[in-house]
Amino acid sequence: MPATRRTILKGLMASAAMGATAGAMTGAASAQPAPAPLTRTIPATGEAIPAVGLGTWITFNVGDDPVLRDECAAVMEAFFAGGGAMIDSSPMYGSSQAVTGYGLARLGQPAALFSAEKVWISSPAAGPAQMEESRRRWGVPRFDLMQVHNLLSWEAHLDTLAAMKAEGRIRYTGITTSEGRRHDLFERVMDTRRPDFIQITYNPVDREAEDRILPLAAERGIAVIVNRPFRQGELTRRLGPRPLLDWAAEVGAVSWAQLILKHILAHPAVTVAIPATTRVDHVRENLAAASGPLPDAALRRRIADHIASL
């Protein structure tokens, strides 16, 4: 019987739950060092990538302020030291691209970097120039991933990205959306154009992607990047004063941020979550969410239901 989106996703869910249980049992059985951060496989190639990345929306838009630029560089230093790889930015994000480039230069262009950028311009003819300017701001020889931001002029831009990939000027292609917008069109593009990556909003409160987008990504073999995991900090600010319930310890979560990230990463279609932050302690906390067990399907529902009730 041919596989459907739901049967594929159920199989992935079962595998993820078994892996989480096995990790918990191993930790209980022996006093081993903390497990390595979780990696996920990019379906298009089989390449492994750390499951927690770094977003730059708002947080890296600090202009030319030397103190704030150095703070962003310190966040990047902690990110790479903790095993991170993917950094995501966009021409839409003000000075974030240049600040990312500043940090990369300060750190000697870390080899672990997985650079994720976007083309965001209505004129398809102007796309290549914008992407080249982005590359110059980052100071990288090429981008690992180039995404069509919010599906702006997506048909022509995806043609351009396909040609760039064939020429070796980028490694992967992608499309993005946020806050649950344009999912119908998003699904059509996934079906007809098969990008290597999609980027969507997904967290315990914003779960629209569970209905069609995540199952389709699993079926089509498309990697998934999750943006706005904390709703630009609204979730963690709202939950922060409330005590973390005892069952969070079942998956090793010591903060609401970690519990939210573990909920997201436990969905087997998710490849990378990209929380943004201005603080070194927060980037370390986020990376630590990818260590240890992840919640099974029942605990994921419990997490989502509890957060929605607060």
d(CA 96, CA 278): 12
Predicted confidence at residue 16, as pLDDT, reads 45
Predicted confidence at residue 117, as pLDDT, reads 98
Predicted confidence at residue 31, as pLDDT, reads 44
Q: Look at 4-13, 24-33, 49-58 and tell me which has the smallest mean pLDDT.
A: 24-33
Q: Is the model's pLDDT at 73 over the cut of 70?
A: yes
Stretch 271-276: mean pLDDT, rounded? 98
d(CA 290, CA 50): 8
Over residues 86-123, the pLDDT tens digits come to 999 999 999 999 999 999 999 999 999 999 999 999 99
46 band by pLDDT with thresholds 50, 70 and 90: very high
Q: With pLDDT > 70 as the criterion, what percentage of the chain qualifies?
A: 89
Beta strands in 163-268 (DSSP E): 170-176, 197-201, 223-227
DSSP character at residue 247: G
Q: Is the model's pLDDT at 300 over the cut of 70?
A: yes
Over residues 216-232, the pLDDT tens digits come to 999 999 999 999 999 98
Predicted confidence at residue 35, as pLDDT, reads 62
Q: With pLDDT > 90 as the criterion, what percentage of the chain qualifies?
A: 83
User: Which secondary structure element, helix H or strand E, spans residue 178, and what is its range?
Assistant: none
Q: Is the model's pLDDT at 45 over the cut of 70?
A: yes
Residue ranges of domains in the chain: 47-241+268-292
Predicted confidence at residue 36, as pLDDT, reads 74
CATH superfamily assigned to domain 47-241+268-292: NADP-dependent oxidoreductase domain (3.20.20.100)
d(CA 239, CA 229): 14
| Confidence (pTM) | 0.89
Stretch 166-192: mean pLDDT, rounded? 95
